[in-house]
Every structure is written in C-alpha cells, then in structure tokens.
C-alpha cells in the first residue's frame, strides 16, 4: 500500500492465494495446480482448463490494478467454476473517500425480469475497520482483453484510507445459481479485513464510538 501500511484478510481453508506478478505467476500457478490436484483428485481431468483459468484470473487482476488476489474453485461434472477476491488501492471519487461519499457515487439497478442484471449500494460496518461503502449484484462484466461480457456475481467493498485513497476489495464469480450464498460468503471473508500500521484508523475515523 505505502510504507508502514498494510492490510490482512482471513481466507477459508479451501481458498488459495494467487501470484499476480507477471515475472513469476506462470511458475507459481503451475505449482498451485499440482497442489490443487493432490487435494482434490477430481481436478485431474480439468488440469489444462484449471491452469488456463488461474492464469487468466492472475492476468486480469494485474491488468485491473490489483496487487493481491485469492480465489476458490468449484468442480462440476464437466467444468470448473472459479471465484476470486482481489485488493487494490484506488483514488477517491470526486466527492471524497468517506464511506458516504463513495456510496453516493455508486449505481443501483432493479432487475426488470427473471435473470436480468441488478445491483445495489449500501453502507456496511466491518468489525475491524468500521464503515465502508459496498456495491453488489449480478452484472455483465467485460474484462481487459475480452470482447464478450460475462454475467457475473460481484461484491465490491470500498474502505476509506487515511491518505485520502480507497482500499477496494472486489469479489466475483460466474456461478449465478449460487448468488445468495456466494454474496454471504464474500461478506464473511471481507468482514475479516483489518488495516495495520499507518493505514490503521482510530475508532473515530472508522465510525466506532465505543
């Protein structure tokens, strides 16, 4: 983040961290695929697809500005469904970095029919951080270097930082049949977020009063 500033997250046991650095990610992803197959032999039949998925997750996370990425995999009979979490530090919107200002800049949309896209904005309180803005829903996402949009579950949590920027924790998965449980899972993981060192905020800063 900056000198003396850091964050931490607690991941579920079946999640993994993903190296996004272009200089090392191909090697580390190869080792990760081997480890995933040892833990879940059902992945053996999908090893080529698995490698391709993880490389794409790492590349897209890096291209979008993320410097940390984690993920999970759901093995179905003939395919693998991924999910990811990435962390970036981004500039504040024109209204400022406060949770209320960021929430005001976010959009919301009601579904017009079954299967339609939708999104909502809200303020959440994270146990170790305090108030943050959140945007979640099912939207069509076009990733870097992609021509076709993919309908995706997303949950984006915007945490104000003391230096005027925003820590963005983005969770996503194309497993649309699992929208509600995945949003709950994403919330549980993001709720473990903590800021450390010069990024840590006082109780007054983070909205806690006692």
What is the maximum span of the chain, computed from C-alpha positions, in angstroms? 53
Q: What is the pLDDT of residue 81?
A: 81
Question: Using one digit for the tens of pLDDT, what is the confidence trace for 79-126?
Answer: 778 899 999 999 999 989 999 999 999 999 999 998 899 999 999 999
Q: pTM of this prediction?
A: 0.85
Q: Where are the beta strands (DSSP E) in 2-49?
A: 5-8, 16-18
- 6, 197 in Cβ contact below 8 A? yes
Measured between alpha carbons, how far is 87 from 1 in angstroms, rounded to an integer? 10
Measured between alpha carbons, how far is 197 from 132 in angstroms, rounded to an integer? 19
What contacts 8, CB < 8 A, 6 or more positions away?
A: 192, 193, 194, 196
Question: Using one digit for the tens of pLDDT, what is the confidence trace for 39-54?
Answer: 878 778 778 888 888 8
- 40, 120 in Cβ contact below 8 A? no
Q: What is the pLDDT of residue 209?
A: 36
């Amino acid at each position: 983040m900056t000198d003396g500033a850091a964050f931490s997250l607690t991941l579920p046991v079946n999640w993994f961290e993903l190296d996004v650095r272009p200089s090392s990610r191909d090697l580390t992803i190869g080792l990760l695929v081997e480890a995933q197959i040892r833990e879940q032999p059902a992945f053996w039949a999908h090893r080529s697809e698995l490698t391709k998925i993880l490389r794409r997750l790492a590349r897209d996370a890096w291209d979008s500005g993320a410097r940390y990425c984690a993920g999970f995999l759901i093995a179905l009979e003939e395919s693998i469904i991924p999910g990811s979490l990435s962390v970036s530090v981004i500039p504040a919107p024109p209204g400022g970095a406060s949770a209320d200002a960021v929430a005001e800049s976010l959009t919301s949309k009601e579904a017009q029919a079954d299967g339609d896209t939708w999104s909502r904005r809200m303020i959440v309180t994270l146990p170790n951080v305090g108030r943050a803005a959140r945007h979640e829903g099912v939207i069509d996402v076009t990733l870097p270097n992609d021509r076709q949009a993919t309908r995706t579950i997303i949950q984006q949590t915007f945490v104000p930082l003391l230096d005027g920027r925003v820590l963005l924790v983005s969770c996503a998965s194309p497993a649309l049949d699992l929208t509600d449980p995945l949003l709950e899972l994403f919330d549980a993981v993001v709720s473990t977020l903590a800021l450390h060192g010069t990024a840590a905020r006082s109780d007054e800063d983070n909205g806690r009063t006692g």
